[in-house]
Structure 1
């Protein structure tokens, strides 16, 4: 995972990794879109726009700080002063969010495979846990390569199923129905902000070192622009399809899989496979960020990084047994509230350092 491994990441690689870090089980399943946006009716489209602007702006800041500071350590982008407490707070929030989301992703994989094939959920969790360790042995370039393969398939699946049910809604399914959502998600504006605040904590640990690996400043700018545009397109398409068919999907854990099955039964399995890609892309991004931070702690500093990955993956598999169902609606918003302060710290760092850094370059 050294800087030498990260040399020369393209705009497409940046955009793919940016999207893949944010898109995961909750997004591709439709569950996040359902709870954060569809629950607000058509105002949810405004929340998606709020979130898109937030992702673009904070994504650009993260990449710029990584590019100009030439660092793969995200703490340099969120430490506005020499005082240790902001860094400790951000380290704690980001590490807990990254690892917690890794656990949720592998729990989701296990649950999905159990629903589709009648397998014990632990099999899917173990499989994802093993794969992320193997993939990260390739370093950052391994992460970028897997994102470049998976993200286009994931976006294509979301958009195609979303477009189909936008123009071919299920008869009678447009009637308002009770949507299982979080008590914390009550208005479209804070919903959009909280969606960024939570997901941004997942992205920052990957985007800062990715910025350091960008080919040029122009590459960075193109990558974050296309990444944000891809997020908007995918979110808006899924939102419209779910809103127009909410009567059929309002209480489903994997609403997009439910819609795909309505086209023909085999497509449900295809979409489920794409959803597993989403689970994996987010799991590997979160795991990468977790390992970077955990390996610096006193408890793990003396261990070889491979052993740190094996230990953390095993712990994640064990914790994944607690399940997937309510975590998106309850844990994600809570972590989002904590992430708001992390975003404030990054703004302070950007205001303090970027003008000087860009002037030198």
Structure 2
């Protein structure tokens, strides 16, 4: 429980850091092609990752989302909600098979394995992991994240410690690369919109796995910040080696091969794992969207999506990024606008709900302690808080009780835990409950 926000953060990074970022191909075509100005664009990209990482995971927690449609139906007009639903399904499928193509390129560049075979290996793994439970899946998504962070920071340190570079010459070489967009500003907006499309569905689902909004906020923010750090480190390393790697499908892998062959092997496996993470998340979000809550149906859809994605992956990784990503990025701008506007509109409600759930957890914890007595007033408050929550009432109650059990099992001093993590203002809580109940009654009368 104590490190749950880190689990969310690492899983979120695993979704975002896929074939493009961990390989460096996205960074070449979107940012480094503009030379030194492109590095400033990467810095701004990191800021957007932190802001929207927090927003997306928090919305998933607030609505206890099982798929992206459940959130969009609440925060957007039905017309825009429907458009976003279609865009995300199409976008997730397209980016999914681009990731699979990246898996093939990765194994081909490092080991000489035919790209089609590498893509097939990745596709089979995706289908197999779909038969695990979600807690295990979340663990899989985050397991390689610390590894790639250490690797990228090590590569950056190796690249710059004790060495100097002619940045004017590097800038001139970088500008010979064909850009995906016309200028840096468009690249930042377009590329982050693409990242949001990659991560939003799974970010909602990740947020929906936790009850406490504070944990979701912290996990999303940490995940976004670390994505920014990873991207910045990779960008500086590629820029310093731009002459040697500008034509490679996997620029980062080309750099690593110059450091040590065994390090390159380890990096190739790690990149493959991250590609798998992203591809799995994209396909999984599609399957969850159309499964209607049925695990069996979800797995059947997953297998069909994986098979279709494998066929489409033969378009070639580098070509697919140059052609498909800008189009998907423009489609994702609408997503960013809707998310940001909804965040401003819902911010007060989210803060209120955060303290409501804290109070529910306090009451539930009190009920589990033999030496404590839950009053009728507290029982009524627990019921009222669950009724006015944006989450489904019975599901929220069950999840509150499950979270309580986990806290009881993993905490020695319950009172200390409550004081440090579940502080509330009872008077303010009751006032907010009364206001919201009055508002609901007025709506019913109308």
TM-score (norm 1): 0.88
Q: Which moved more, 1:151-160 or 1:212-221?
A: 212-221
Cα deviation for residue 45 of structure 1 reads: 2.7
Q: Show CA shifts across 1:118-144 (max 9, x none).
A: 333222222111211221222331221
- Distance in 2 between the 1:80 and 1:243 partners? 43
Cα deviation for residue 254 of structure 1 reads: 0.8
- 1:198 partnered with 2:198: no
- Of the three residues 70, 81, 87, the one matched with 1:93 is 87
Cα deviation for residue 24 of structure 1 reads: 0.9
- Asked if the contact 2:51–2:224 (Cα under 8 Å) also holds between the matched residues in 1, the reply is no
Q: Call closer, same or farther: CA 1:86–1:8 in 2, change over 3 Å.
A: farther
RMSD of equivalent CA atoms = 2.7
- 1:126 partnered with 2:120: yes
- Of the three residues 274, 278, 284, the one matched with 1:282 is 278
Aligned pairs, number: 352
- Asked if the contact 2:25–2:318 (Cα under 8 Å) also holds between the matched residues in 1, the reply is no
- Distance in 2 between the 1:194 and 1:177 partners? 24
SS, match of residue 317 in structure 2 = coil
TM-score (norm 2): 0.72
Cα deviation for residue 191 of structure 1 reads: 1.6
- Of the three residues 291, 306, 327, the one matched with 1:295 is 291
SS, match of residue 185 in structure 1 = coil
Partner residue of 2:390?
none
Cα deviation for residue 262 of structure 1 reads: 1.0
Q: Call closer, same or farther: CA 1:20–1:126 in 2, change over 3 Å.
A: same
Cα deviation for residue 161 of structure 1 reads: 1.5
Cα deviation for residue 80 of structure 1 reads: 6.2
How do residues 1-361 of structure 1 correspond to structure 2 at under 5 angstroms? Answer: 10-79=4-73, 83-167=77-161, 175=170, 176-178=172-174, 181=177, 183-295=179-291, 304-360=297-353, 361=356
- Distance in 2 between the 1:325 and 1:308 partners? 28
Q: Show CA shifts across 1:278-301 (max 9, x none).
A: 21111111111121224359xxx9
- Asked if the contact 2:35–2:175 (Cα under 8 Å) also holds between the matched residues in 1, the reply is no
Higher relative helix content:
2
Partner residue of 2:395?
none
Larger radius of gyration: 2
- Structure 1's unaligned 5+ residue stretches are 1-6
- Distance in 1 between the 2:300 and 2:54 partners? 33
Cα deviation for residue 303 of structure 1 reads: 7.3
Cα deviation for residue 222 of structure 1 reads: 2.2
- Structure 2's unaligned 5+ residue stretches are 357-446
- Distance in 2 between the 1:302 and 1:231 partners? 31
- Asked if the contact 2:15–2:278 (Cα under 8 Å) also holds between the matched residues in 1, the reply is yes
